[in-house]
Structure 1
Amino acid sequence: MASGVASVWLPVDDMDRAVAFYRDVLGLEVKQTRAQWSELDANGLMIGLNAREGTGSASSNGGAVVTLQPDGSIESEVEELRGKGVQFAGDISEHPWGRIAAFTDTEGNALQLYAPPA
């Protein structure tokens, strides 16, 4: 199934404050930063800071989105997981930064299969 963790995404309300914390307090290297998305290197693990959409409040439920790198194609992994009863939030979505298939674990934690752009 999964061959490893591709990245961990953390929702944030204030990108500048979050980047400063991870860079200045935790000492992580900032690879890129934008208003809606920033990437940090955590000893080879990419941590993505993703701007929270429309909440405006750090008190809202947050948490990491664990992004799994499939062993094979994302399509074959989705098919295999669906065969095991996994419910996906929709079809594989296409983005300039890659393709994702979102689902949850048995506890409601957000997971995604991720394929980088070709």
Structure 2
Amino acid sequence: MASGVAAVWVPVTDMQRAVAFYRDTLGLTVTDESDDWSEIDANGLMIGLNGRESASPSSGGGAVVTFQPDGSIEDELASIRERGADVQGEISEHPWGKIVPFKDSEGNDLQFYSPPQG
């Protein structure tokens, strides 16, 4: 039985570019960095950037890393757009909350999620 998520590993092709994306575009803290493995602190969840596996962007589904926006989802979307993120659409609203998809520097699927208000 699983008791929680220990870490998320994300394949990357260019470690320096990937570290810069997670640090500079998303504003997360880099806690360990090397050519083949780097660790990012995402509010207590460790994201491992794995340079030992090849990243292969595809549109056929797969894992998505979902982040909580620091402020409003609208403000965070504007902020990452200004910093050059590859935003994959607009904010969509659902009964369970709002999401907006984007890609990291290596083509991995990411999104911001905001729960419903009220």
Compute the TM-score of the two structures, normalised by the length of structure 2: 0.50
More strand by share: 1
Question: Which of the two has higher C-alpha Rg?
Answer: 1
